[in-house]
A and B are shown apart, each in its own frame.
Chain A
Amino acid sequence: MSSTLKAAETAPSARPSTRPKLSLVQRLSWFDVKASPYLYISPFFILFGLLGLFPLVYTLVVSLHDWELLQGQGDFVGFENFAATLQDRFFWNSIFNTLSIFILSTVPQITVALVLAAILDHNLKGKTFWRMSVLLPYIVTPVAVALIFSNIFQEESGLANNLLGLIGVEPIEWKRETWASHVAIATMVNWRWTGYNALILLAAMQSVPRDLHESAAIDGAGGVRRFFSITIPTIRPTLIFVIITATIGGLQIFAEPRLFDVSTAGGVGGSDRQFQTTVLYLWEMAFFRQDFGRASAIAWLLFLLIVGIGLINFFISKRIASADGRALKKKTTQKKGSSA
């Protein structure tokens, strides 16, 4: 900022009409003012360009070619890979599985995280202990989670079936039945992410002004009512963030289904692809069937799908929360007015 001052001081008279000839120092300081901010933020964009944008574009290039994993680039084939993918029943199967696992994991996950956060937001004894405890599963790597859970959901002598047996439920074929396998995989995801999301939501909840709660309580609003009318609208931005990241993560599930049953069919997600998610299908296409062109096409279609669902989620969560928000705003202004 000091440089702008200097520049202004040294050439005050030349301002109105023609552009004066600038000295080197002046030009440098002009450059400093105009360009520095961009330079400061450029590392991110350079890295993003290298590690984000370039692969994205390159993937598009690959997807337009016949491209074998080992032999490399082949002929240009236009959108043939996309057409082939869109006609492939395994692709749609993987989309179905992804969406199913996504819904089974994201919805309960965020609901439970909200409730957990609300509970943790109260004055519990040993708060740090409880807060650390919910985060604990997050520290475990997905691979370890997958190994543990694939053991628990072992069909013949796994913990889950043993427990179900105690209450007289027939053993469930966790790794063969589509729904059972989706529930099992969603369980892994939920186990790992619920606590993490709960903590983020908790952080947001703690910044909700207490006097809002207090005055609402004085007006006779119950805990549930305050939760929905005060807490949720106030933490809206955080909630949207959590929903969006959960969406992106949910649609990219890979390690869990990949490691859920490594022994069957080369680990492509079940003997009949019962739990093959789209990313897993992408992996199969690239490294199992060695068709890089098709795999890249799948990657792009998945990208578009995620953007699409992300946008839908964004608008829905914005609408729901802001409707409440408006109502709340009205109410609070009224209250402030009346109490004043």
Chain B
Amino acid sequence: MSFSRPATAAAAMASAVALALVATGCAGGGNEGGGSGEDGNITLTVTTFGTMGLDALYEQYQSENPNITIEASNIDTGGNARTDTFTKLAAGSGLSDVVAIEEGWLGSVMEVSDQFSDLRDFDMEERQGDWLDWKVQQVTDSEDRIIGYGTDIGPAGLCYNSAAFEAAGLPTDREEVAELFGGDDATWDRFFELGREYKESTGKAWYDHNGFVWNSMVNQLEEGYYTADGELNVEDNAELKERFGWISDASEDGLSAAQTAWDWNGGKAFTDETFATFVCPGWMLGVVQGQLEAGGGGPDTGWDFADVFPGGSVNWGGSWLTVPTTSEHPEEAAALASWLTQPEQQLAAFEAAGAFPSTTEAQSDLAANPEPNEVFNGAPVGPILVDRSQGVVAQFKGPDDSLIQENVFGPPLQKLERGEANEQEAWQEALTLLDELVG
């Protein structure tokens, strides 16, 4: 449920341009469906977002299938991809042959699932068993149509800056760090307690901003903003309220660096120890890497990845590749999407961008191959994430889930970390916004 995964500045600009085109009604046309050439050559368009790690795979697919040309475009964040997809769905044209959709706004997509091809018409029946059950369940509609090939899921570990930890006299070895946070019994309580100690000794913030910590907490709940049967579940949700209190206390103690997410001062906040910890679903590793590059930092900035997560395991985010019914070459598009989500390709995507595979075969491969990740101080991120994914089940996402996350809870959480509201006021604001925006 990330609202995204920004990549590089270039991608941001490209999408900003795309946005402006959408805004002026000039979008469409350009990347509408694929075309077929004279000699059976087919052009397939693909739209992805954030860092999905598929770029190199397109090349490979094209060389293995010489009659296919892939025209890929990538949107900077999941939020902007949502706007792009919805706008084109509403217009009834302009969608690519293969469109990536994200968990946070899957709820809305499932309401119009008939606008996407039923992949059982292609090879879904045989492949269904490749994925974790719930990954397929999420994209199965009430008529048992399956509309998406799962790409990644979002088990999360803890990114921490070992240099910052060292300065504060905390252990820096990733196993000791995992132990420090409580190992398998890690709690948010412990996380914030360590944060207060850190703040005490260094005077610096503990985590980057409230929103992501809040997302992690919400995703950990069995039922988040919606109950499993699709009812809004915020106002009387005691668990949610309790966690809001934790965040409020942490904000009061100055543990949040109040950073702007997806910007992080142009990545510099990652390089100058503005904060010491960062919640890291698999795909976020690619984001951190991108931010480090943007901010001019490398492996020496000290980021590492520990096999621990406050409050236990969580699934945050994850995507699918779909084939809209507007595609002129649904069969070829489905073949491409299917190929891109094969275990082997998922491993390649993980290698490139940390997108944690959703197929069980790829996961067990990862567990067996502790490839060190250079950006994260040589951490074996694969096996760690496999470990973090144990027992993870994605939460049900309602139609307005991403809206609630970003526009209902976003502003009050920001007010908390900026000291502009107390817990009571902020919670009240969230409820007011919920009433006004979702109603």
Contact = CB atoms under 8 A, between A and B. Distances in A.
Contacts of B316: none
Contacts of B3: 266
Contacts of B20: 141-143, 255, 258-259
The majority secondary structure among interface residues of chain A is loop
B131 to A, nearest CB: 26
Of the candidates B17, B20, B403, the one having the most CB atoms from chain A within 10 angstroms of its own CB is B20
Given A265-B406, A288-B83, A157 B16 contact: no
B128 interface: no
Interface in A139-178: 141-143, 146-147, 154, 156-157, 175
Given A70-B111, A142-B20, A271 B83 contact: no
B117 interface: no
A319 interface: no
B13 to A, nearest CB: 6
A263 B90 contact: no
A268 B410 CA distance: 12
A290 B108 contact: yes
A265 B411 contact: yes
B17 A143 contact: yes
Contacts of B243: none
B260 interface: yes
Q: Range of interface residues on chain A?
A: 35 or more
Contacts of B13: 147
B319 interface: no
B89, B260, B436: residue with the most chain A Cβ atoms closer than 10 Å = B260
Interface in A41-70: 69-70
B86 A287 contact: yes
Contact of A157 (B111, B265, B406): B265
Nearest to B399: A290
A263 B23 contact: no
A289 interface: yes
A154 B266 CA distance: 9
A77 interface: no
A327 B111 CA distance: 68
Contacts of A141: 20
A157 B271 CA distance: 14
Interface in B70-98: 79-80, 83, 86-87, 89-90
A26 B17 CA distance: 58
B86 A69 contact: yes
B86 A263 contact: no
Contacts of B265: 154, 156-157
A9 interface: no
Contacts of A8: none
Contact of A283 (B12, B16, B23): B23
Given A156-B265, A288-B403, A254 B23 contact: yes
A2 interface: no
B263 interface: yes
B238 interface: no
Contacts of B260: 175, 261, 263-264
Interface string A256-278: 00110111111110011000000
A71 interface: yes
B186 interface: no
24 contacts: A69-B86, A69-B90, A70-B108, A71-B111, A147-B13, A147-B16, A156-B265, A258-B19, A258-B23, A259-B16, A261-B260, A262-B12, A262-B16, A262-B80, A262-B262, A263-B260, A265-B406, A266-B3, A267-B79, A268-B407, A271-B411, A272-B411, A287-B90, A290-B108
Interface of B: 3, 12-13, 16-17, 19-20, 23, 79-80, 83, 86-87, 89-90, 108, 111-112, 260-263, 265-266, 268, 403, 406-407, 410-411, 414, 436-437
